[in-house]
Amino acid sequence: MTILEDELIARSTHAGGKPLVLRVTDADFQQSVLAKLGRLEAMMEMLVGGTQPGRMKLAEDRIRALEKNDIRRSVFDRLVNAAITVAISAAIALHDHFGIR
């Protein structure tokens, strides 16, 4: 026990020798909890963002841009594939007309 606890016990004992009041102050524990809460708050600010966009917002924006680009690219790929297919089909259908054997 600390000196403070010993003094409190000595002051607050009654005739039976048992303490009436025991005040325990654990400043180290309180400081540890407050430090951990501070780190947690800093991490949440970094993820979610306070006044600036956080990492999650930036990641969501990048995903949205990638999805939009993926849709645009798939449409372009389909058009190119359709043009190639039409050209090959026309070449097969008209190979006699062009003199290709």
- Write out pLDDT tens, residues 77-99: 999 999 999 999 998 888 877 77
Residue range 13-23: average pLDDT?
A: 56
pLDDT greater than 90 at residue 72: no
Tally of residues, the chain: 101
- Which comes out higher in pLDDT, residue 71 or 80? 80
Contact in structure between 101 and 95 (CB atoms under 8 Å): yes
Distance CA 69, CA 76 (A): 10
pLDDT in tens, 23-63: 556 777 888 888 999 999 888 877 776 666 777 788 888 99
